[in-house]
């Protein structure tokens, strides 16, 4: 059996898997015997020291101790301003995620025997460079050797492709707890080529829960109980109940939610129809993204051979109905939406742990698996248009470019003896600087040259979609410097080191 595991680090639930001796991936149950572990951390203070609890117990405590519980931390990955203060320590999103990963690491070790150190961790395809780096760091802080961060839809397609041995174009629609992705892939034997991907990292089951919470709160208000959502304890309690009601509505046309608020008991009846009406705009957003991806990939529905629905939220009947109506196809039904991503990650982990990055191992008796992924974000730099003198964004690597990749562009100095060149690394697809984000900047020294001297800027995206920049002075043909973008939003090596020491010192329940 492989010692490297695959981890689906989800917004709401996480799962892990390993490839067995038979070459087939299987889910590793957690210590409580569950196939998935809620990505929820309860911070308990025991004798002046944090004793975090992760998983189902922590999730149940969210309703009674909302101030001590962190949920949905994946939504904050790469956000330099998000912090959680426990009684004893201030946690970054990477550290909170590391606690979840540490719990999984412990449980994997218990299930498989010994220490499990190597892992592939999945991320939404739409995660940008900073969020991928944060995820990798979270793994390192938890004590993992992170072999790779892998896109969730690619992982799902691998697990599906292995099982079914079917070629053709697969469209993966992944609506999870906190994020949404659509990816089109072409599978040919064991070759997986991603054609296009798009998504919204802030759209998921969480938003559907919010809509249901609003329906219930409005009804309770109409019955005389004003201000339910403004009360943190009542709101946390309602969140758990709303999620349960939402799941029930996937199977039955109506359900009831019982809430106690300000000492009164309320019963609210919710129909699937009312819920679907309230969330129609969310479903429409996913529909638009599907169409964009079809467009970007240059596909017609007739070209799509398999429609995969993954992510727990794809169990909502309206998802299946919308996709069936849009595509005229029946989604595949024999995919477990909660497990597919972790299973595919385990396959990749086994391949990666076989050495030098070039996957050569055979799983399930076929030929070696190769994955050709694409970038999910355009990368560029700010330049001055020589005619209009206006700032423009020059896209060097457009979205949906195959990775790893390297692209360069030549720019010209604006003044005689210009001493510095400033590289603003932008993320986005627009030529208008107002519509892109500057994710890093650096200033490099330039030797004296006349105005109009050429300078080449080179961008590289590695296999993890992490960005490297190099600048070459074309007059002297010398490299002026090579750098990973210094992202304000990520921890530096020292901080990762300190965080690792802190997390290593904690016992996780």
Ligand X SMILES: Nc1ncnc2c1ncn2[C@@H]1O[C@H](COP(=O)(O)OP(=O)(O)OP(=O)(O)O)[C@@H](O)[C@H]1O
Contacts with ligand X by CB under 6 A lie at: 10-13, 74, 176-179, 204-205, 243, 246-247, 250, 311-313, 315-316, 338
- 404: preceding bond cis by omega (within 30 degrees): yes
**Binding of Mg ion at residue 178 (CB under 5 A)?**
no
What stretch of H or E contains 343?
A: helix 340-352
In degrees and rounded to multiples of 5, residue 459 shows phi and psi of: -115, 140
Which one, 179 or 453, has the nearer CB to ligand X?
A: 179
Which one, 119 or 363, has the nearer CB to ligand X?
A: 119
Which residue is catalytic, options 59, 74, 102, 136?
Answer: 74
386 is known as an active-site residue: no
Contact partner, 266, from ligand X, Mg ion, none, Cβ < 5-8 Å per class: none
**Binding of Mg ion at residue 440 (CB under 5 A)?**
no
Residue 23: DSSP 8-state: S
Nearest Cα to 216, choosing from 232, 205, 204, 229? 229
Which residues lie below 8 Å from residue 405, measured CB to CB, with a gap of 6+?
Answer: 375, 397, 460, 461
**Binding of Mg ion at residue 337 (CB under 5 A)?**
no
DSSP SS3 for 176: coil
Contact partner, 179, from ligand X, Mg ion, none, Cβ < 5-8 Å per class: ligand X
Contact partner, 13, from ligand X, Mg ion, none, Cβ < 5-8 Å per class: ligand X
Which one, 219 or 243, has the nearer CB to ligand X?
A: 243
Relative to beta strand 304-310, strand 370-374 is unpaired
CB of 25 to ligand X, least distance (A): 17
Which residue is catalytic, options 95, 128, 129, 174?
Answer: 174
391 is known as an active-site residue: no
CB of 282 to Mg ion, least distance (A): 17
Contact partner, 313, from Mg ion, ligand X, none, Cβ < 5-8 Å per class: ligand X
Size of the site for Mg ion (CB under 5 A): 2
Nearest Cα to 106, choosing from 69, 142, 56? 142
74 is known as an active-site residue: yes
CA distances, 104 to each of 39, 54, 132, 239, 348 (Å): 10, 9, 19, 25, 18
**Binding of Mg ion at residue 10 (CB under 5 A)?**
yes
Relative to beta strand 41-46, strand 69-70 is antiparallel
Q: Is residue 152 a contact partner of residue 174, using CB atoms and an 8 Å limit?
A: yes
Which residue is catalytic, options 94, 152, 338, 424?
Answer: 152
Nearest Cα to 197, choosing from 150, 136, 162? 150
How many helices and strands in the chain, by DSSP H and E?
A: 11, 27
Q: Residue 46, exposed/middle/buried by CB under 10 A (0-12, 13-18, 19+)?
A: exposed
Stretch that binds Mg ion, among 7-15, 52-60, 256-264, 368-376 (CB under 5 A): 7-15
Q: Is residue 212 a contact partner of residue 228, using CB atoms and an 8 Å limit?
A: no
174 is known as an active-site residue: yes
* Residues of this chain, 467-486, that bind Mg ion according to CB under 5 A: none
Which one, 254 or 430, has the nearer CB to ligand X?
A: 254
CB of 74 to ligand X, least distance (A): 5
Which one, 246 or 306, has the nearer CB to ligand X?
A: 246
In this chain, which residue has its C-beta nearest to Mg ion? 176
Which one, 120 or 485, has the nearer CB to ligand X?
A: 120
Contact partner, 12, from ligand X, Mg ion, none, Cβ < 5-8 Å per class: ligand X
**Binding of Mg ion at residue 176 (CB under 5 A)?**
yes
d(CA 382, CA 380): 7
Which one, 243 or 464, has the nearer CB to ligand X?
A: 243
Query: Which residues are designated catalytic?
Result: 8, 74, 152, 174
Summarize as ranges the residues that interact with Mg ion (CB under 5 A). 10, 176
């Amino acid at each position: 059996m492989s010692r490297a595991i695959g981890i689906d680090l989800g917004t709401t639930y996480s799962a892990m898997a390993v490839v067995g001796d038979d070459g087939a991936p299987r889910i590793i149950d957690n210590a409580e015997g569950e196939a998935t572990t809620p990505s929820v951390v309860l911070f308990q203070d025991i004798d002046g020291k944090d004793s975090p609890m992760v998983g189902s117990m922590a999730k149940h405590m969210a309703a009674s101790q909302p101030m001590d519980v962190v949920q949905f931390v994946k939504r904050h990955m790469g956000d330099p301003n998000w912090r959680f203060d426990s009684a004893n320590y201030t946690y970054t999103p990477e550290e909170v995620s590391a606690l979840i990963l540490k719990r999984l690491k412990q449980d994997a070790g218990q299930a498989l025997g010994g220490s499990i150190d190597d892992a592939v961790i999945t991320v939404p395809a739409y995660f940008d460079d900073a969020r991928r780096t944060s995820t990798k760091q979270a793994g390192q802080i938890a004590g993992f050797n992170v072999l790779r961060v892998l896109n969730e839809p690619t992982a799902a397609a691998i697990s599906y492709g292995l099982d079914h041995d079917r070629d053709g174009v697969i469209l993966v629609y992944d609506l999870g707890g906190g994020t949404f992705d659509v990816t089109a892939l072409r599978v040919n034997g064991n070759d997986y080529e991603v054609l296009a991907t798009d998504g919204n990292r802030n759209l998921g089951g969480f938003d559907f829960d919010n809509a249901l919470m609003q329906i219930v709160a409005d009804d309770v208000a109409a019955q005389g109980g004003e201000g339910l959502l403004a009360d943190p304890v009542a709101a946390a309690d309602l969140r758990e109940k709303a999620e349960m009601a939402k799941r029930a509505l996937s199977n039955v046309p109506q359900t009831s939610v019982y809430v106690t608020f300000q000492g009164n008991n309320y019963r609210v009846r919710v129909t699937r129809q009312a819920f679907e009406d309230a969330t129609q705009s969310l479903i429409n957003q996913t529909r638009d993204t599907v169409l964009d991806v079809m467009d970007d990939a240059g596909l017609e529905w007739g070209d799509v051979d398999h429609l995969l629905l993954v992510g727990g939220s794809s169990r909502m009947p309206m998802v299946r109905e919308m996709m069936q109506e849009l595509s005229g196809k029946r989604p595949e039904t024999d995919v477990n939406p909660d497990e597919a991503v972790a299973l595919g990650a385990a396959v990749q982990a086994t391949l990666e742990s076989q050495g030098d990055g070039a996957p050569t191992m055979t799983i399930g008796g076929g030929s070696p698996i190769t994955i050709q992924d694409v970038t999910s974000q355009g990368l560029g730099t700010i330049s001055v248009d020589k005619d209009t003198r206006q700032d423009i964004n020059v896209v060097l690597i457009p979205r949906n470019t195959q990775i790893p990749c390297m692209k360069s562009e030549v720019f010209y100095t604006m003044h005689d003896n210009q001493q510095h060149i400033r590289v603003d690394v932008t993320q986005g697809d627009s030529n208008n600087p107002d519509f892109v984000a500057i994710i890093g900047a650096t200033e490099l020294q330039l030797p004296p040259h006349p105005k109009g001297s050429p300078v080449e800027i080179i961008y590289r995206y590695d296999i993890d979609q992490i960005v490297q920049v190099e600048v070459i002075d074309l007059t002297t043909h010398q490299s002026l410097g090579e750098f990973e973008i210094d992202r304000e939003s990520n921890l530096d090596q020292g901080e990762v080191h300190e965080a690792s020491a802190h997390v290593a010192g904690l016992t996780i329940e």
